[in-house]
Amino acid sequence: MEIIRRIISDIRKGENIDLYLFALAALALAILNGLGLASKTLIESVTLALLGLLAAYSLGIRDRLNGINDKFTGTSNLLYEELPSNLRDATISNSKELFIIGISLNRTIATFYSQLEQKLKDGQKIKILVVDPNGEAVKLIPQRIYRPISNQRLSDKISDTLLLTCSLHSKASDQIEIRTIDFPISFGCFASNIEMSDGSIYIEYYSYKTTRDLPCVVVSSRKNPYWYSVYKIEVLNLWNAGKEWHCKS
């Protein structure tokens, strides 16, 4: 009964109909042959036709399996144990518009300060988003970090980053935007030329109370258009939810 219900369900959904027709034709041929009602010519013709259908069905299964394998392979190629420094550096160097997002970005901005300064001199656009040092999020974020850090220490680190970014802002106020968000964002990222055909996004997720880092995700608009569009929307949503940070003159 379960098999019959499965067959009826598949037919109603339009699934596996070719397979059921194949089985029905084979059964009918076997019955006719057993009753002596099928000629040798008919048996040979129908057998060849069934073998052709079987070959076509096998090719269809192979194509579906290859498609599934390609999806898994494509997804694994997005993951890295750590952010590839060569790709990250190339992103910073080649970007016409660069998003940098993270909780504090304390080490990131200090490390790339001179490169960012040069980009601004070259007329490139930079957009920086960090967590609001005076908001509620700085009280929640320490709870996810394995190494103990006080709310005040985290707030101070973010404030230090904002001082550095404001220093950049003073040199090229038209090319750099600084925003803060009162939300415990779950990843840091570089996003280059996000609205262009050569865009790329590098995501580094923050783990929850573990000593192991989570895999980094690297997507590009050309190689990974689906996942690129997913991360692009998330990056832009975070940016649009941020509030402009006014640097003190």
SS3 labels along 139-158: HHHHHHCCCCCCHHHHHHHH
Query: Rounded to whole angstroms, how far apart are CA atoms 92 and 199?
Result: 12
As to burial, measured by CB atoms within 10 angstroms (0-12 exposed, 13-18 middle, 19+ buried), residue 143 is: exposed
User: Tell me, what's the pLDDT at 208?
Assistant: 86
User: Tell me, what's the pLDDT at 99?
Assistant: 96
Buried b (16+ CB within 10 A) or exposed e, 34-50: eeeebeeeeeeebeeeb
User: Tell me, what's the pLDDT at 145?
Assistant: 85
Per-residue DSSP letter, 38: S
User: Tell me, what's the pLDDT at 16?
Assistant: 56
Give the three-class secondary structure for 162.
helix
For the sheet containing 79-80, what is the strand order?
79-80, 216-220, 200-205, 187-192, 97-101, 125-131, 176-181, 243-244
User: Tell me, what's the pLDDT at 44?
Assistant: 58
Buried b (16+ CB within 10 A) or exposed e, 214-230: bebbbbbbeebeebbee
Q: Which residues in the chain come in under a pLDDT of 70?
A: 1-77, 81-88, 213, 249
Q: In angstroms, what CA-CA distances link 129 with 71, 105, 188?
A: 32, 9, 10
- At residue 7, what are phi and psi to the nearest 5 degrees? -65, -45
Query: Rounded to whole angstroms, how far apart are CA atoms 121 and 118?
Result: 5
pLDDT tens digits, 64-107? 555 544 444 444 467 776 666 666 677 777 789 999 999 999 99
Give the three-class secondary structure for 81.
coil
Residue 79 gets the label, from left (phi > 0), alpha (psi -120 to 50) or beta, of beta
* 192 touches 115 (CB < 8 A): no
User: Tell me, what's the pLDDT at 75?
Assistant: 45
User: Tell me, what's the pLDDT at 5?
Assistant: 63
